[in-house]
Amino acid sequence: MHIEKIRRWQWMLIGLVVGLLLGSAYRSWTKTDWTAMYNVIGDQDRFEEILLRQDKGQPLFREVTIHPVASAKEQVRAFVVTGRYFDGPYAATGRMLAFEAPSPYPAGSAIERVSSATSKNFSQRYAALKNPTIREYLGLIDEAGFVDVQYAWWEIPAVVMLLWTAAGFFALGVFWPTVVNLLVYRSLFRPREEPGIDLSQVKSSAAGESKAPTDADLQKLAELESQLEASLAQDAAPAVTATATATLTSAPAALSTQPVAPAAEENPDDRHFALKPKDFYPTDHRGSHGFTLVELLIVIGIIVLLVGILMPVVTGVRKHSQLVKCASNLRQIGQGLEMYNQTVKALPDVPTPTGLSQALIEIRAATEPLFHCPSDPTNALDYSMNPQFAGIPKMSGKAGDMLANESGARHPGGPNVLYFDGHVDQAAQK
């Protein structure tokens, strides 16, 4: 079976299988730990206080997104709320915060404050729900206009599988057969095949039994042969003599007056067939060089297997390179702190990420991109100094004391830590 002979429904079936395989691989490779990537709000009261803070009528906690967290059985068991908090030193860029909400979610002070401010019974509506979650809780607050919330429905395991399956179905079942038809038949659709003759259905009648000739038949046949030979001999003798005489008489004149035509080259095919090659019925002599359906499925399976083997390796290499880059950033920050200590005779007064970056940038000991960890997708300032040594000379610390560190646990094995002697190592996660 050539690849252009595969029917569209077969391509659709292949697309469904490939979509399911890719969806399963995507789910296993892209499990995001939001609490490890962002700064975690561990207290519900603190979360609801930040949720309702406003400045000039605008909420300070923006870009609020509810992420579903699936269990081992691919069922949504909990939710993580992420957002950007624009307050204090992060008033310009915002600080990424995350809150892991329990399920069911107990009603807090936020819903009561919203009910009092709007004179609506939001708290009663929430209490009437059975096993409510943070999604319904924030939905009521969003309805009151205090916060803008979106639900990351595209992260639901069932939706992810459905999207990948639909993508495989339309890519291989709809788009790819159309491309094949355009390349092979120059048409959007494959031409209709004419019905042929099925030789397996043709039956021939049984031949009758042959009988051996009798002696009388053989004798009669011999008499007919002898009579035919005698008749041919009598009729052919005068004609042969006259023809030979005429040929010998006219041969010299013909040879002298007519040029000798060259002998025509004999076609090897004409020696064996009475008809010329062009008179034969055209047949397809093309060899069977196309892919069969089984071969195509095997190739697709091998490609999926190779991708499944290589993706974890590529992911591990990428994470290791980000870890090395983060450690390099901390070493350069340590060199900048050494320059700052030699200039000011003390370490920076403000140990926060914003204060540390501003202090080193003012004396041109570092640049702003140096304070961003490559593993942080939020582009926030990720390095802070040990507040124990803020504003005092560097000689006050010992070689094994922590000078600066990375905020958050973004790397496997723990965050990077810079020590007073200049070396960087990972701190064990607690």
Q: What is the pLDDT of residue 28?
A: 76
- The span from the CA of 372 to the CA of 383, in Å, is 8
What 3-state class would DSSP assign to 101?
strand
pLDDT in tens, 324-373: 888 888 889 999 999 999 988 899 988 888 888 888 988 888 888 888 88
- The span from the CA of 333 to the CA of 360, in Å, is 8
Q: What is the pLDDT of residue 255?
A: 45
Task: Grade residue 430 by pLDDT with cuts at 50, 70 and 90.
Answer: very low
What 3-state class would DSSP assign to 241?
helix
pLDDT in tens, 285-308: 455 455 566 677 777 877 887 787
Range of lowest pLDDT (17-31, 103-117, 241-255, 308-322): 241-255
In contact, 179 and 187? CB cutoff 8 Å: no
pLDDT greater than 60 at residue 252: no
Q: What is the pLDDT of residue 180?
A: 81
Q: What is the pLDDT of residue 320?
A: 83
Q: What is the pLDDT of residue 137?
A: 93
In contact, 161 and 25? CB cutoff 8 Å: no
Nearest to 154 by CA among 23, 253, 287: 23
Range of lowest pLDDT (133-137, 190-194, 270-274): 270-274
Q: What is the dihedral of CA 181, 183, 186, 190, to 10 degrees?
A: -20
Query: What share of the chain in percent tops pLDDT 90?
Result: 11
Q: Calculate the alpha carbon distances from 111 to 22, 46, 126, 151 in Å.
A: 42, 14, 8, 19
Cis amide linkage into residue 191, ω under 30° from 0: no
The listed range with the strongest mean pLDDT (194-198, 202-206, 405-409) is 405-409
In contact, 172 and 11? CB cutoff 8 Å: yes
Q: Calculate the alpha carbon distances from 284 to 264, 288, 293, 378 in Å.
A: 31, 11, 22, 63
Q: What is the pLDDT of residue 149?
A: 92
pLDDT mean over 101-113: 89
All structural domains of the chain with their residue ranges: 3-27+160-190, 32-155, 313-426
pLDDT greater than 60 at residue 271: no
Range of lowest pLDDT (14-23, 169-178, 202-211, 300-309): 202-211
- The span from the CA of 377 to the CA of 30, in Å, is 15
- The span from the CA of 200 to the CA of 334, in Å, is 86
pLDDT greater than 50 at residue 210: yes
Task: Grade residue 151 by pLDDT with cuts at 50, 70 and 90.
Answer: very high
Structure tokens at 269: 């095919």
What values do phi and psi take at 131, rounded to 5? 50, 60
**Average pLDDT in the chain:** 79
| Amino acid identity for residue 239 in this structure | A
Place of tokens 């035509």: 261
- The span from the CA of 101 to the CA of 34, in Å, is 12
Q: What is the pLDDT of residue 266?
A: 53
Which comes out higher in pLDDT, residue 275 or 409? 409
Rounded to 5°, angle at Cα 87 from 82 and 93: 70
Q: What is the pLDDT of residue 231?
A: 83
Residues forming a β-bridge with 385? 404
Q: What is the pLDDT of residue 350?
A: 85
- The span from the CA of 430 to the CA of 416, in Å, is 14
pLDDT in tens, 153-182: 988 888 989 998 999 899 888 888 888 888
Query: What share of the chain in percent tops pLDDT 70?
Result: 77
